Amino acid sequence: MRQVILIVMKDLRRRLRSPVAVVSMMFIPIVITLVIGLVFGRSGQVELPRIRVLLVDKDNGVFSHFIRQGMQQERLSEMIDLVEVEEDEGRSMMEKGEASALIEIPESFTADLLDEKPVQLSLTKNPSETFLPIIVEEVVETAALMLDSGVRIFADPIGRVQSMFEGESWPSGNDVTGLLDNSRDRFVLVGGYLTDSLVVLKTEDATAQIEEEGSTQSFDIFAFVLPGSLLIGLLFISQIALRDIVREREYGTLPRLLTAPLEVGHVIAGKTLSAFVITAVSCILLVIIARFGFGITLGNPLALVVHLVATIFMCTGVLTLLYGFIRSDRAADAALPVVILTMCLLGGSMVPYEQMGAALQEAGKFSPVFWAVDGLKRIFIEGAGLRDISLHLGILYGLAVLTVVPGTLLLRRRVKRGG
Amino acid sequence: MGQGSLWTIWKIAECDFRLTWKERSVILWIFIMPIAFMFFFGFSSGGSGDSTPTAKLTVENQDGGFLSYELLEALTKESISLVDSLSEGENPVRTIIIPPDFTRAVLSRQRVTLVLRKEEGASQEASEAVSTAIFRSLMRVVSGLVELEAEALEQRKPGFAVRDNAISGSLWEMVRGEGGALDSIHVRLDSLQAREPLVTVSSAMAGRDRKTPSGFQGSVPGSLVMFVLMTMVFSGLSLTLERVNGILRRLGMSPASEGEVILGKLLGRMGVAVIQIAVLLLVGKFLFHISLGSSPFALVLLMIAFAFCTGAFSILFGSLFKNPEHMEGIAIITTLIMAALGGCWWPIEVVGRPFQILALVFPTGWTMNGLHKLISFGLGTTAILPHAAVLAAFGLGFILVGARRLKWTL
C-alpha cells in the first residue's frame, strides 16, 4: 500500500509542477457554461432580439391601419420593430436578409373586406432565420382571424352603412338609429367576451407544483448546463492523468521503475488511484467554482458527494478500461477523445437530453455519461436526495467496478508483457 | 516570386499535406466526428424534414356538449398535433382540459375556464404555439356564437335581448325547453364555421433556395465550420512540435527562405482544409440531402477564403506556444468559443443584438453568415464577396503575426 501511495504522491507533485494541461481541461466546462449563460441569460429565457418586420401598405385603409396599429400595441411593439417601406425597397431588403419578414397589404384591402370579398395578406419570410419569421407569421395569422371575425360579426351594420352611402337620398333618422342600435348590440355581445373574459385559458405547469413545495428554485441555466460540460472536462482530465501509463511504457520509464522492488500491480494501482485523485481534485475545484462563481445551489450535500464520487470513479474506470486496449500514446490521442465525445454526445452533455428525440434518448441511456449528468441535474435543479438518484448511483458504481477491475488487469498484463 | 520559389513552397506544402494524411487517425477527426456531430445535432433539431415539427396536445374532454367538439374541430385547423388517446406507456406532453358543462356555461354566458396543463420537460416554444392555437380556435368558436346571438337579436327571439348595454338571457335560456333548438344552433354554428375565411395569409420565403437552417440544413454548415477550425487549430500543434523538435530550425538552414517555409506550411494546411470541406459538403449534399445553394462558384470562393483564414490561424496558433501538451485544452477552448459565438451552435437570430455583432468579430461568424446567404437565400458571388474579403483580411492578419513570431524561431 505504501508503494501505491508513494506513486500517487509522486504523480500529484508532477501535476502540480506542470498543471497547465489539467487546468486547461478544467476550463472547458467553465467556458461552455459561461458562454451559454452569457448568451442566453441566467434564467435561460431566451430574450429574442426585436423582430424587424417590413410593412408594405398598398391599401392605406381602415383595416390596414388595424393591422399596423395591432403590431404597434403595447406588448407587440416591445417585440416587433415595424418599418413601413415601399414594395421594391421591401423586397430588396428581404433579398439581403435585412428583416425577419415582409408583410404586404394589397390594394383595396379595406374596400374588398367591406364588400365581404376574400382578401389575402402576403408574408415573405427570411429563410436564414428559423424562429423569428414563425413568430411574425403567428401574429399575422391571428390579426387576419381577428379581422375576419370582426367583419363577419359586423357584416350587417357595415352593409347598412354602405347602402346608405350608395343610396341617392340622405338616410332617414330611423335608418341611422336602427344602424346605431344594431352596431351597439353587437359591441355589447362582443364586449362580454373581451371585457368580462367569459372564456379563460389557464396554463398550469406540472413543474410549478414542485416549485411551490420549495424543493427547487427557479430555472438556472448554469445548473442546467454545468453537469453536462463538467462531465466532458472530467473525462478529459482522467484521460490526461491515465496517459502516463502509456507514455511511461513508451519512454521506458516504466520498465526502469519495475527494476525497483515494486510489483506491476502496485504501479497500475498507483497510476489508477492518482488518476482518480487528480480527477477528484479537479472536480472539487469545479464544484467550488460552480457554487461561488456561478452561484449554483448544490442541493443535498450527501447526495452530491456520493454522486460525484460515483461519477469520478466511473470516469477513471472507463478510461482505465479503454487504456487497457490502447497500445501507443498516438493511438490514445487519436481514439480516446473520439470515444469520450461520443459518450458525451449520447449522454446529453452537448444537447439537452430532453431535446434529443425518443430514439436518441433510448440510445443515450447506454452512455455512462447520461447517468452522471442526469443525476447531477436532479441534485442541482430538483434538490434530489440519495433515494431519488439510487438508480443512477447503482449504475455508476456498478459500471465503475465493471470497468476498473478488467481495465487494471488488462494494463497489468500489457505492462508485464512489455507491450 | 520565381519558379524555383514556387516549387519550394509546393514541396513544403506537399510534404505537410502527406504527413497529415499519413496519420490514419486523422480520418476520425477530420471526417467521422464532424459527420457524427452533423447527424446528432441535425437529428435533434428536426432532421431532414422540411416541415416544422408540430406540438402535441392531448385532449381531456370532460364536457360532451357540441361546443367542445366545435373547439376541437377548430383546433384541427391549427398546426398542432391533437392526441385523443395515448398509447400504453406514452405520457402526455401538454393537455387541454375542457371542463364539464363547458357547452352549457358558454351558451349561458357564464365564465368558464379551460386548462392547458404542461408536463415537466414540455418545450416552452411549443407550449406558446399551442396557447396561440387554442386562443385562435376559441376566437373562431366565439365569433360564430356572437353571430348566432346577433341573429337571435335581429329575429327578436324570446329569452334573449340587449337592454341598456346589458344582455338579458342567453342562447341557452332561449333554447331551454325547446325540443331540437339546441341541435339547430349546433347545425347553424357548423355552417358558420364551414365558411371559407375572408382574410387569408399567403406565406413564402425570400430568396431563391428558401432553405431554413434547421435540422441537417443547420447542423451541416455549423459542424463543418467548427470542425475545419478544430482541424486547423490542432494542426497548429504539429507546428509547435516542429519548433520544439528543431525541425523548423533545420528547415531554416535549407535554401528555402522563411517566407517560402511559411507559405508552404500555409498551403499544406489549406489543402487539408479544402479536402475536409469538400468531403463534408458532399456528405451534407448526398447523405443529409441539404441544399448547397445555387452558386457553386460562390460556395467554392467562400470556402477557399475560409480555408485560407483557418490555415493562417493555424500558423498563428502554432507560433504562440512552446509546449504542445499545454496547447490541447487551449485549442479546444479556442475552437469552442469561436464556434459558439460565431453561430455554429445555435441560430444567431435567437441571441441578443450585442452577440449578433460579436459574432462578426470571429471568422466563424462571417463564414456562417456567408453560408446562410448562399444556402438559405440562394444568392450568388456578389452577396458573399464582402464575406470572402473579410475572411481573407483575417487570414492575412493571422499569417503576418504568425510569420513574425515564427521568424524568430527560424
pLDDT digits (tens, 9 = 90+) for B290-309: 888 889 999 999 999 999 99
Final residue belonging to a domain, choices A133, A153, A173: A153
Final residue belonging to a domain, choices A109, A130, A153: A153
**Is A329 inside a domain boundary?**
yes
**Å from B12 to nearest chain A CA?**
24
Exposure string over B354-375, b if 16+ CB within 10 A, otherwise e: ebbebbbebbbbbbbbbbbbbb
**Å from B65 to nearest chain A CA?**
16
Partners of residue B140 in chain A, C-beta under 8 Å: 145, 149
Indicate yes or no: CB of A127 within 8 angstroms of CB of B199. no
- Please identify, in words, the CATH class of the domain defined by B55-193: alpha beta
Average pLDDT estimate for A296-320: 93
Domain containing residue A264: 2-42+219-417
Query: Judged by CB atoms within 8 Å, which residues 209-228 of A form the interface with B?
Result: none
Cell numbers describing residue B360: 462578426
Residue A206 contacts B where some CB pair is shorter than 8 Å:
yes
Residues 6+ apart with CB under 8 A from B382: none
What is the domain-level CATH number for residue A66? Answer: 3.40.1710.10
Residue A148 contacts B where some CB pair is shorter than 8 Å:
yes
**Å from A317 to nearest chain B CA?**
22
Q: What average pLDDT is seen over chain B?
A: 85
Partners of residue B192 in chain A, C-beta under 8 Å: 152
Which tens digit of pLDDT belongs to each residue from B321-376? Answer: 877 777 777 888 889 899 999 988 888 877 878 888 899 999 999 999 999 888 87
Residue A186 contacts B where some CB pair is shorter than 8 Å:
yes
Query: Judged by CB atoms within 8 Å, which residues 276-335 of A form the interface with B?
Result: 330-331, 333-335
**Is A306 inside a domain boundary?**
yes
Residues of chain B with CATH 3.40.1710: 55-193
Total domain count, chain A? 2
Highest mean pLDDT among A233-242, A350-359, B48-57: A233-242
Kindly report which listed range (A30-34, A204-208, B226-230, B254-258) carries the lowest average pLDDT score: A204-208
Mutate to test the interface with B, among A17, A131, A149 (most CBs of B within 10 A): A149
* Same domain (yes/no): A126, A6: no
Partners of residue B119 in chain A, C-beta under 8 Å: 206
ipTM of the shown complex = 0.73
**Is A264 inside a domain boundary?**
yes
Cell numbers describing residue A286: 469545479
Which tens digit of pLDDT belongs to each residue from A260-297? Answer: 777 778 888 888 999 999 999 999 999 999 999 888 88
Average pLDDT estimate for A345-349: 87
* Same domain (yes/no): A56, A38: no
* Same domain (yes/no): A29, A85: no
Which tens digit of pLDDT belongs to each residue from B70-96? Answer: 899 888 888 888 887 777 667 788 889
* Same domain (yes/no): A7, A100: no
Chain A: residue whose CA lies nearest to B379:
A95
Final residue belonging to a domain, choices A153, A177, A203: A153
Percentage with pLDDT > 70 across chain B: 93
**Å from A90 to nearest chain B CA?**
11
* Same domain (yes/no): A257, A305: yes
Of B112, B143, B330, nearest to A153 by CB-CB distance is B143
Indicate yes or no: CB of A153 within 8 angstroms of CB of B125. no
* Same domain (yes/no): A112, A246: no
Size of interface A-B (CB pairs under 8 A): 284
* Same domain (yes/no): A36, A129: no
Partners of residue A134 in chain B, C-beta under 8 Å: 52
Indicate yes or no: CB of A20 within 8 angstroms of CB of B326. yes
Which tens digit of pLDDT belongs to each residue from A367-408? Answer: 999 999 999 999 998 888 899 999 999 999 999 999 999 999
pTM over 0.90, yes/no: no
Indicate yes or no: CB of B329 within 8 angstroms of CB of A25. yes
Indicate yes or no: CB of A198 within 8 angstroms of CB of B111. yes
- The more confidently predicted of residues B174 and A51 is A51
* Same domain (yes/no): A62, A17: no
Chain B: residue whose CA lies nearest to A334:
B25
Partners of residue B346 in chain A, C-beta under 8 Å: 39
